[in-house]
Structure 1
Amino acid sequence: MILPNRPLEALQQSYGELLALCDGLEAVADSLPQVSARICLTLAARVEPLVARTQDLEEAALFPLLEASHNPQLGRTLARLRAEHLADHGAATEVSEALHDQATDHAALSPDAMGYLLRSFFESMRRHVHSEQELIAMMPPPATGTD
């Protein structure tokens, strides 16, 4: 039997993984220009699928809660979050490509530009995760159907 809150648990787990990825990206940014190619390739391979999976979980678990609230302000929040998903997907692709290029000695970005790109991304992701966790905490628990 699938528990009603299981999607939210999966989303919270994905948020933990995304925050850990941000920690890895911060470590790379802090070590520039001397970075491990192996770490860059590992992070490059993880960033896009993890962002996509987290977004899918948000759309399956969080978005229906926001829609069900019938609160106009939460409706505007939902519209903003949907738009942010497109921007976040593009940013994840850019970060993945830059990390791959850095690891294969084809870096098109200076160390300063690479650091800025990584910091912009992981700071945005951390802010996003914390914001959505606050939204989840404010939402009433899902009905269990046993009433």
Structure 2
Amino acid sequence: MTALNDRQADGAARDAVEVMQRAHMAELALCDRLEEIADSLPNGLDRRKCILAARALGPTMAKIHRFEEHRIFPHFCMRLGHSVESGKTIERLTNEHLEDEGYAAELRDALRSAARHGEADSPETLGFMLRGYFGAVRRHVAFERDHVIALLVPAG
């Protein structure tokens, strides 16, 4: 019975990882769009791009994070035998999720304002916010890929 349970757990982990990988691709595509906006500042602001990016920073990201926290992280901890290290890693990633969500809300407001006015109140500030956000998200995704996913879905 244990072998069957192990296979079921492995299958559930693989299924969750597939969802997470698709979510990572969406997050990285959003980072690319945010970088395009940052690169267009101060004079080439595209209102439509700002609106679409602001929408993408909405509740979907929180749903992705809750999915990871409830479906991926338990598999990760189980794979590492619920070690102190796995607990610290999960705590770090969960805190990053909360920070990213708070920062995304501020960025969403700034992008909406820029779209509404046709220009950023402060292009330097908006550029700094955009670059800070997409840089942090890219690092977070890279860590999850290299450490969490790699452990759950070994090569081969």
Which TM bucket (shorter chain)? 0.7 to 0.9
Q: Does 1:38 align with 2:48?
A: yes
Identity %: 36
Q: Deviations over 1:47-74 (max 9, x none)?
A: 1233212202211332102321222111
TM-score normalised by structure 1 residue count: 0.86
| Counterpart residue type for residue 128 of structure 1 | H
Once residues 74 and 107 of structure 2 are traced to their aligned partners in structure 1, the CA distance between those partners, rounded to angstroms, is 30
| Counterpart residue type for residue 125 of structure 1 | V
1:6–1:104 Cα change, 3 Å:
same
Name whichever structure is richer in helix by fraction: 2
Q: Where do 5+ consecutive residues of structure 2 fail to align?
A: 1-10
Q: 2:144 aligns with which of 132, 138, 143?
A: 132
From the CA coordinates, give the structure whose radius of gyration is larger.
2
State the partner residue of 1:51.
Answer: 61
Once residues 149 and 54 of structure 2 are traced to their aligned partners in structure 1, the CA distance between those partners, rounded to angstroms, is 31
Once residues 105 and 119 of structure 1 are traced to their aligned partners in structure 2, the CA distance between those partners, rounded to angstroms, is 21
Q: 2:107 aligns with which of 90, 95, 98?
A: 95
Structure 1 stretch displaced more, 29-38 or 51-60: 51-60
State the partner residue of 2:33.
Answer: 24
Alpha-carbon deviation of 1:106?
7.8
Q: Where do 5+ consecutive residues of structure 1 fail to align?
A: 143-147
1:44–1:26 Cα change, 3 Å:
same
